[in-house]
Structure 1
């Protein structure tokens, strides 16, 4: 089955040690080896010639796509986060995209809503999504539920994901086991 690894929201604003969310995702990620495990997963995908897509949340500098009533994104606007073209929306250097990788920009939690993800998946006949990123209870959960309902086989790399807390991460995984295979960077095959 043709597979793509989706590395989701692993951007500087969320996962860089100097980024504004360092106390949240960096602390959780460091505790569970998120960085090293994600590097391992990307290397395994590249070695198997599997496709890699980078999903990034971002808004125009004037935030024209940002929903003003969203509890999550309205705070991003106030803090000046997630501006496309800025350091904050670049993929964290440790996971750097390479030529030929897919770039999917999203303006909501879901990587499917209003993005080029579905056309990319269909154009290249990808049938299996291997998913990692932050947060487990945000983009990963949305990707699994929508991917499942669009008839994609989904695999979550649980050691390449984290939530704002370990409880959020574990709670999200518990609810997703019915819709996706749960694996790790060490055991997944591409």
Structure 2
């Protein structure tokens, strides 16, 4: 079965200690769950097994023209000037850096499928299985799992490479999407 690993929203403003979310409960969870190191190992494993790795980023033009300023999620992003597409905060964390030929899917909303080329590229490449992980579990991860499922992909969630602002929220999120995917550990998922 042709597969791909989607690494989602692992951007400096969201996951780096010096990023916009660096002093929030989300950063505490990223640290305590060792999400950066686990994701780096998962990327390395996928590549070693010939599974392509693709990156999904939530990012905006410098003026945030794509952001819905009345949204509870995107309004503060625009107001605070974070997640700019070409700025450090909008880039993937250095420890997880994409290779030159790996996809960089930029999305203006929560779902990696909304207003992006992701589905077209996946279908063109004959992908049937999506491995995915990212921050945060209650947002991009839930959206990817549900939308991937509804587009007839076999979805595998690397649960230990995800985080939310609280352990309880992460657990609830994984519980609510478990029927739409296979929940796996990154150390054994690619076997």
Which TM-score applies when normalising by structure 2? 0.97
Superposed CA offset, 1:57-107 (max 9, x none): 011111111112210100001111111110011100000000211110000
Aligned counterparts of 1:25 and 1:187: Cα–Cα separation in 2: 25
Aligned counterparts of 1:145 and 1:30: Cα–Cα separation in 2: 26
Query: RMSD value over aligned CA atoms?
Result: 0.9
Superposed CA offset, 1:11-31 (max 9, x none): 000001111101233210110
What SS does the corresponding residue of 1:145 show, helix, strand or coil? helix
Pairing 1:33-48 to 2, within 5 Å after superposition: 33-48=34-49
* Unaligned 5+ runs, structure 2: none
What SS does the corresponding residue of 2:179 show, helix, strand or coil? coil
Q: How many residues align?
A: 190
Aligned counterparts of 1:117 and 1:165: Cα–Cα separation in 2: 29
Q: In structure 2, what is the equivalent of residue 144 of structure 1?
A: 145
Aligned counterparts of 1:186 and 1:33: Cα–Cα separation in 2: 13
Q: In structure 1, what is the equivalent of residue 125 of structure 2?
A: 124
Q: In structure 2, what is the equivalent of residue 74 of structure 1?
A: 75
Would the aligned equivalents of 2:8 and 2:134 in 1 still touch at CA under 8 Å?
yes
What SS does the corresponding residue of 1:162 show, helix, strand or coil? coil
Q: Which has more strand, going by share of residues? A: 1
* Unaligned 5+ runs, structure 1: none
What SS does the corresponding residue of 1:99 show, helix, strand or coil? coil
- Quick check: 1:14 aligned with 2:14? yes
